[in-house]
Amino acid sequence: MALVWLVPVAGIAAILFAVYLIRDVLRKDRGSEPMRDVADRIAEGAVAFMKRQYRTIGLLAILAAAVIGVVLFLLSGTDLNSDGTVDTAEKLEVGWKTAIAFLVGAFCSAIAGIVGMYISVKANLRTAAAAQKSLKEAIVTALRGGAVSGFLIVALSLLGVTAIFYAYGGNTTPDIAPFLIVGFGFGASFVALFSQLGGGIYTKAADMGADLVGKVEAGIPEDDPRNAAVIADLVGDNVGDCAGRGADLFESTAAENIGAMILGVALYLATKQIEWILFPLVIRAFGLIATGVGIISVRGSDKEDPMTSLNKGYFLSVILAIVFLAFTTNRMLGDSWEWFFFAGVVGILTSVAFVFITQYYTEAKYRPVKEIAKASQTGPATTAVAGIAVGFESTFATAVVVSAALGLSYWLGSQATLPGDISGGLFGTAVATMGMLMTAAYILAMDTFGPITDNANGIIEMSGNPASARSVTDKLDAVGNTTKALTKGYAVGSAALAAFLLFSAYLTDAKLVSVDLSKVVVFIGAFLGAMLAFLFSSLAIRAVGRTAGAIINEVRRQFREDPGIMKGTSRPDYARCVDITARAGLREMLVPGLLAVLMPIIVGVLLRAEAVGGFLMVGTIAGLILATVLNNSGGAWDNAKKFIESGAMTSDSGEVVKKGSFTHAAAVVGDTIGDPFKDTAGPSLHVLVKLLSTITLVMAPIFL
């Protein structure tokens, strides 16, 4: 039980640290009255949408919990009593405990998303005001605002899993409790999927509509107050990038934690040492400490690239994480702790590798983005082709890094000497996954940094501030695009490691040794799993396209019917665009969301447990590869547009390419194609692959 006391201490300390950061951000200058007016409109729209969205998700979650409890009670297999009768009490306990865990996970995931959105709409105004003073102050304000979300989400995940583990008998039956709490991860995944889908559809439909009518057709700047869709666009950054991603990362950390604990059960049974089950909780507690130090260390600089300042804090967190990893493995994992320590280092270095891979494919100073910008000189078609090629290319580095991490961590774990000749290979991959998650709070802080700076840019533009302030927020906005892309890359990497972890946990729960793809029913399950990733993405992207079309028509109508808008003598009807995107976001999230939830259950009921194993394995691989394509191509398109808008690009004839040019218009089209890729379908696929794992773990008893 050594070091377990640190888990609640670190979790509560992280919450208190987040409260300190909230007070630090909220006491900062709120800027001028016009700035506050714009910020209030953004906050009003975000809160209104979140209320409507979570009311819908809440009703779905309650219905789903009831169905899960009843289905597990009626259909799950169970051990027979000595007289050959079915143990009804055991079936009832599995049903109600799983349903309660589902609701708790769903509630915590919703809180995580709401908190992420709330602090974002408060920090954006303070960041805009800070940008009028210095770049240094704006960096610190935006990062600390983002860190509130990061620390609360990771702390809630850690405390939630710990509390429900002990509530379900962690002290008395630690080998059984991890299997009963998988409902917590499923509930978190359920809410995250709908939150990410609804927010992603909202934000990208508004963004596409604002860009295509404003920039391309009307020739006005981004975030120009004459554009009726601009408030909806700024609201979307919060409900999609903050609330949606917050719920996404919450369920990632929860599900992966539970999967690692399940793999620790076999080692606990062999050694009777509960440390194997509790290790994932303790190592993540140390991760909170490491990232807290990293956040505080970032001071920003007026002379230094903002990304450099953020990277310094991140690498300090990484170094501390390695030190804490060595200490924890030494204290908890027996005489062969060194092998597990090195497996954990592999996971930490994998997260660093994904940061660099994503930076390379989405930052303007590297070849891929410059290649897309250059292709924009010959029109939208070549821009689109170049962006898709970049996305496909990026899968090579992703696959190599994930494969190396899994192979190496498995080999390192298998070198450990354990009682009864048990292999530590699978637990080595679990330690690698936990190592990767140690810096999750810092990555989340950088993610929320993105929408905060994007909103700050919009507030500066719409409130008529001088160009000097806009130059600061433009620089922060470009960095924010990269940090948002980093989080998606990190999410893909952690999901890939966790996929193997959770797949192994499913095999344990379903009492399977292997999955044989040569069996026809298993092959069918695998085929359907691969298809699901593409059909799901199609539904999500099509939903954005339909809603964007409605926004485009609305903005065109307002320009046509009220000439005073373009002259600046009358104000557009922002509320109309907000209402269109809000209603569409809620309506359009239902079909792809329900498809993702019901498909693995249907496969399991009809084709049984081994077919679900094929569905899960191949569907996860296809989903992660497709998410890599969508995320990186979308991020590269976005920053290619910003590279041109910054004035840094020269044409083949040596002239500076300017906003409003043919090249810029082509880049804007590329950016709008990438919008639903990187902010709707791509992030939702992260959630989908983990939802498949958690739902199959929960429903495994009925597939047997």
Q: What is the pLDDT of residues 404-449, one digit of tens each?
A: 999 999 999 999 888 767 788 889 999 999 999 899 889 888 888 8
Q: What percent of the chain has pLDDT over 70?
A: 98
Cβ–Cβ under 8 Å, residues 703 and 697: no
State mean pLDDT over 92-105. 88
* Lookup: tokens for 446: 């950088």
Cβ–Cβ under 8 Å, residues 564 and 226: no
Q: Is residue 579's pLDDT more than 90?
A: no
Q: What is the pLDDT of residues 310-364, one digit of tens each?
A: 989 999 999 999 999 999 999 998 888 999 999 999 999 998 898 889 889 988 8
Q: Is residue 122's pLDDT more than 50?
A: yes
DSSP letters for 164-219: HHHHTTTTT-TTTHHHHTHHHHHHHHHHHHHHHHHHHHHHHHHHHHHIIIIIIII-
Q: What is the pLDDT of residues 452-499, one digit of tens each?
A: 888 888 888 888 777 777 778 878 887 887 787 777 788 788 878 877
Q: Is residue 134's pLDDT more than 90?
A: no
Q: Is residue 83's pLDDT more than 60?
A: no
Instruction: Please report, for residues 21, 140, 195, 256, 300, the alpha-carbon distance to residue 292 in angstroms, rounded to integers and kept in the order given.
Output: 11, 14, 27, 21, 16
The radius of gyration of the chain's CA atoms, rounded to the nearest angstrom, is 25
Q: Is residue 7's pLDDT more than 50?
A: yes
State mean pLDDT over 585-609. 89
For all residues of the chain together, what is the average pLDDT? 87
* Lookup: tokens for 239: 């409900």
Specify the pLDDT at position 1. 55
Q: What is the pLDDT of residues 243-289, one digit of tens each?
A: 777 777 787 788 888 888 888 888 888 888 899 999 999 999 999 99
Q: How far apart are CA 187 and CA 108, in angstroms?
A: 9
DSSP letters for 347-396: HHHHHHHHHHHHHHHHSTTSHHHHHHHHHGGG-HHHHHHHHHHHHHHHHH
Q: Is residue 370's pLDDT more than 60?
A: yes
Q: What is the pLDDT of residues 621-680, one digit of tens each?
A: 999 999 999 999 998 998 899 888 888 888 887 888 888 888 998 998 999 899 899 888
Q: How confident is the model at residue 87 (pLDDT cuts 50, 70, 90)?
A: low
Q: Is residue 184's pLDDT more than 80?
A: yes
Q: Say which residue the tokens 């890939």 belong to.
A: 496
* Lookup: tokens for 16: 């208190």
b/e for 300-326, b at 16 or more Cβ within 10 A? Answer: beeeeebbebbbbbbbbbbebbbebbb
DSSP letters for 648-681: --B-TTSPBP-TTSHHHHHHHHHHHHHHHIIIII
* Lookup: tokens for 205: 């439909």
Q: Is 86 helix (H, G, I), strand (E, B) or coil?
A: strand
Q: How far apart are CA 665 and CA 587, in angstroms?
A: 31
Specify the pLDDT at position 48. 83
Q: Is 563 helix (H, G, I), strand (E, B) or coil?
A: coil
Q: Is residue 509's pLDDT more than 60?
A: yes
Q: How far apart are CA 328 and CA 284, in angstroms?
A: 10
Q: How far apart are CA 142 and CA 494, in angstroms?
A: 25
Output DSSP code: residue 33: H
Q: How confident is the model at residue 80 (pLDDT cuts 50, 70, 90)?
A: very low
Which sequence spans correspond to the domains of the chain? 6-703
Q: What is the pLDDT of residues 517-571, one digit of tens each?
A: 999 999 999 999 999 999 999 999 999 999 989 999 999 999 999 889 888 888 8
Written as one letter, the residue type at 60 is L
* Lookup: tokens for 415: 């070198």
Specify the pLDDT at position 379. 93
Q: How confident is the model at residue 66 (pLDDT cuts 50, 70, 90)?
A: very high
Q: How far apart are CA 151 and CA 16, in angstroms?
A: 9
Cβ–Cβ under 8 Å, residues 487 and 362: no
